[in-house]
Structure 1
Amino acid sequence: MDFKDQIKQLSERVLKLKNNIHTEEATKNAFIMPFIQSLGYDVFNPLEVVPEFICDIGIKKGEKIDYAIFRDDTPIILIECKHWKQKLDIHDGQLLRYFHVSKAKFALLTNGIIYRFYTDLIEPNKMDEKPFLDFNIEDIKDGQIERLKEFHKTYFNPESVFQSASELKYTNELRHLIQGEFQEPKDDFVKYFVKQVYTSAVTAKTLEYFRPLVKRTLNNYISDSISDRLKSAITIEEQVQREDVIEEVVVAPIATSAGKEVETTAEELEAFYIVRSILRPVIESKRIVHRDALSYFAIFLDDNNRKPICRLYLNSGKKYIGTFDTEKKEAKSEIATIDDIYSFSEQLIKGVNYYQ
């Protein structure tokens, strides 16, 4: 069972059992210990997971945190647990104090349903007030699972996670700001758009007139974009299915009706080596191979067309890169030059990790 399936299974377990969990200790045993186990750590090995870990705070000796995950005899993640019915907002101060006196770089506050991950992005050795990763396991999104996977014992790299935490912190804050503007646009936000389309002086009355127009236009634009992407996804999926059938049957060089064979260009090979260099930290280069076709240049893992990494469309007027999600659905993005492939590093690495 892969990591995503384990988390989904735990989500179902929480939904099924939570109304029968009446104590904090039961919450730990039923929800939080299985969660730690799903991250690849042995909850019954005191060298990896230490329950009731002592964090002396100043003159207060013997202060304990529920769990500490260790690596190389050093705590890497502190975990403070609460009963699943308790709200977490009133408890983050306690975790902050533990974090300050520990060598751990990450901290987790959870009630077995809500999980909040913290680090020290703002001030070294002082836990941030806001978590960089916050999710509800009863409604966890695929993107959140991918972020959570970075904490798995197999993949955990403190420097890499810290960098991801920084990006996630700011994207979350930007997301909340954008969401707020979409729901109730502020004056400065409305004024920015009004000045582009309205030539007269922008007064308070003008802003009130345009506010609902801006809000409605934004919502319509989002709806139209979603509709267009769904149509595009259906078209691409149908194309992928047809091409997969062709790839499985045809093993000889692909030719046009006029007998023209596929020609691999120097640009395609250069793009292939860019993809290889991106993936080299997570996979052996020899496992990354390419196959050329008339309409695209494909890159696979283990020379297996069931393990597509990406497709490159470089021989027409515009250039595109096609990346794949967990269900092997292709998303095509326009690129100006093959150097733009580097900006898709995260998607490519995630794509390879799907097959690990």
Structure 2
Amino acid sequence: MREALGSYVNRVRELAEHVKGNEQATKQSLIGPLFTLLGYDLTDPRQCIPEYRVDFGKERSVKPIDWAFLQSSRPIFFVEAKEAGRKLAGFDEQLADYFAKAPEAKLGILTNGIQWRFFTDMVNENVMDKEPFVQWDVLIDEQPPLDFLTVLQRSEYNSGLLRTFAQRTRQQNLLVQELARLLEPAPEFTKLAVARIETRNLTTAVVESWKPIVANAINEWAKQRALASVLETQSRISALPEEPQVNRVETTQEELNAFATVQRLLGTERPIAYEDSVSYFKIHLHERRTAVFCRLLAGRKKPCVWVPLPSERVLPMAASLPVTVPQLGWSCITMDSIDELDKLGDILRASHDHVKSALRGKAAEPIDGGGTAV
């Protein structure tokens, strides 16, 4: 299924621009193929009924829902579709109406083929929650929600299992938010942590510039401690000595310095974080690690930066640096040295704001898709 989802993501990235503003084309080219991938036959009325309508009474006329998916002749989830490019905010009310009318349906899906929002009734039974328990932006998120889509497959679908998944996901999201609040380094802690590293006076601005670096360092320390604990436990229960595991990902000082530069260029009003990988150094929105707005490829003769913006938008801000298109929806700016990051402030701010807006379903202006570095 992972490979099939990869092919589907590439399809959306290739076709999204071609179906903007056309709901029927969006359904046929972007939305329908996902359900086909999940094992549903959209042409079989025993599985799926388009333009599904229920009786809301004479005094209230409600438009039909785009799709009702059935099991044993009863709806198990509803899908409300909009054309690609349309903002989804405000369109969940109709979905909630149908959700409330079918107690056995425990899933409502709102999508424009690019952004997907999955709702259930965790707060009040048979009342669709105001917030989705899973969101997926095909053009921005680095990975699809594979665990949830596995549960959504026709061969696996079970309303009880879906609610359990939704409950755990909601609890996890709440816990992540609380941990983020608790682990957000206070200025006093940040000062203490960098006192022997930072040579400048520890002014408020300097301390603020260090805060995201300290937060990521705490996260990395926690991961290393967890790994050390696992290895220690294994060594105690194993009769034979084992070679220590080697972490292939090594965050260099050059990457940390580059992150600090990006943070300085963005300012404190645009909080960010990073996640290192074997292939490249990812810089993402502080609140969502899959919302990557900058990929840094350092440690090479000519370092480069990838941003999810079309080349025609990047070129005027590139300060005469070379700009190429390595993948649909992404632009690559090549530098002679990492010090030239200082020239990319406008690009980095535009990329951050674009990803932030798209994450909220409020894209400021259309762009050409997105992609994943390989």
**Structure-2-length-normalised TM-score:** 0.52
Asked if residue 53 in structure 1 is aligned to residue 52 in structure 2, the reply is yes
Letter in 1 for 2:238: N
CA positional deviation for 1:11: 0.7
Correspondence for 2:31 = 32
Greater fraction of residues in helix: 1
Stretches of structure 2 that go unaligned for 5 or more consecutive residues are 194-203, 246-374
Contact 2:138 2:144 in 1 (8 A): no
CA positional deviation for 1:158: 1.1
Letter in 1 for 2:102: S
Choose 1 or 2 for highest CA Rg: 1
Stretches of structure 1 that go unaligned for 5 or more consecutive residues are 198-206, 237-310, 323-356
Cα distance change, pair 192–172 in 1 and its aligned pair in 2 (3 A): farther
- Paired residue secondary structure (2:102): coil
Which of 2, 5, 11 is residue 4 of structure 1 equivalent to?
2
- Paired residue secondary structure (2:145): helix
CA positional deviation for 1:225: 5.7
Equivalent runs, 1:105-184 vs 2, <5 Å: 105-140=106-141, 142=143, 144-179=145-180
CA positional deviation for 1:133: 0.8
Q: Give the Cα separation in 1 of the matches to 2:175 and 2:240.
A: 35
Asked if residue 315 in structure 1 is aligned to residue 238 in structure 2, the reply is yes
Correspondence for 2:86 = 86
Contact 1:190 1:211 in 2 (8 A): no
Letter in 2 for 1:102: A
Equivalent runs, 1:1-356 vs 2, <5 Å: 3-21=1-19, 22-58=21-57, 59-61=59-61, 63-103=63-103, 104-140=105-141, 142=143, 144-179=145-180, 185=184, 190=186, 216-223=213-220, 314-316=237-239
CA positional deviation for 1:94: 2.1
Q: Which deviates more, 50-59 or 127-136?
A: 50-59
Q: Give the Cα separation in 2 of the matches to 1:219 and 1:113.
A: 30
Contact 2:39 2:154 in 1 (8 A): yes
Q: Give the Cα separation in 2 of the matches to 1:33 and 1:92.
A: 19
Taking only the aligned residue pairs, the percentage that are identical comes to: 25
Contact 1:12 1:138 in 2 (8 A): no
Cα distance change, pair 213–85 in 1 and its aligned pair in 2 (3 A): closer
Query: Comparing both chains, which one has the higher relative contact order based on Cα–Cα distances under 8 Å and sequence gaps of 6 or more?
Result: 2
Number of aligned positions between the proteins: 226
CA positional deviation for 1:97: 1.8
Q: Give the Cα separation in 1 of the matches to 2:212 and 2:23.
A: 44
Q: Give the Cα separation in 2 of the matches to 1:48 and 1:180.
A: 44
Once the two structures are superposed, residues 316-351 of structure 1 have per-residue CA deviations (whole angstroms, 9 ceiling, x without a partner) of: 599xxx9xxxxxxxxxxxxxxxxxxxxxxxxxxxxx
CA positional deviation for 1:175: 2.8
Letter in 2 for 1:109: L
Cα distance change, pair 158–12 in 1 and its aligned pair in 2 (3 A): same
Q: Give the Cα separation in 1 of the matches to 2:187 and 2:140.
A: 37
- Paired residue secondary structure (2:128): coil
- Paired residue secondary structure (2:149): helix
Contact 1:57 1:63 in 2 (8 A): no
CA positional deviation for 1:32: 0.7
Cα distance change, pair 179–316 in 1 and its aligned pair in 2 (3 A): same
Once the two structures are superposed, residues 250-286 of structure 1 have per-residue CA deviations (whole angstroms, 9 ceiling, x without a partner) of: xxxxxxxxxxxxxxxxxxxxxxxxxxxxxxxxxxxxx
Contact 2:136 2:144 in 1 (8 A): no
CA positional deviation for 1:178: 4.4
Q: Give the Cα separation in 2 of the matches to 1:134 and 1:7.
A: 16
Q: Give the Cα separation in 2 of the matches to 1:168 and 1:192.
A: 33
CA positional deviation for 1:98: 1.9
Letter in 2 for 1:87: K
CA positional deviation for 1:137: 2.1
Q: Give the Cα separation in 1 of the matches to 2:110 and 2:72.
A: 23
CA positional deviation for 1:147: 1.7
Cα distance change, pair 61–124 in 1 and its aligned pair in 2 (3 A): same
Letter in 2 for 1:56: D
Q: Which deviates more, 61-70 or 217-226?
A: 217-226
**Structure-1-length-normalised TM-score:** 0.54
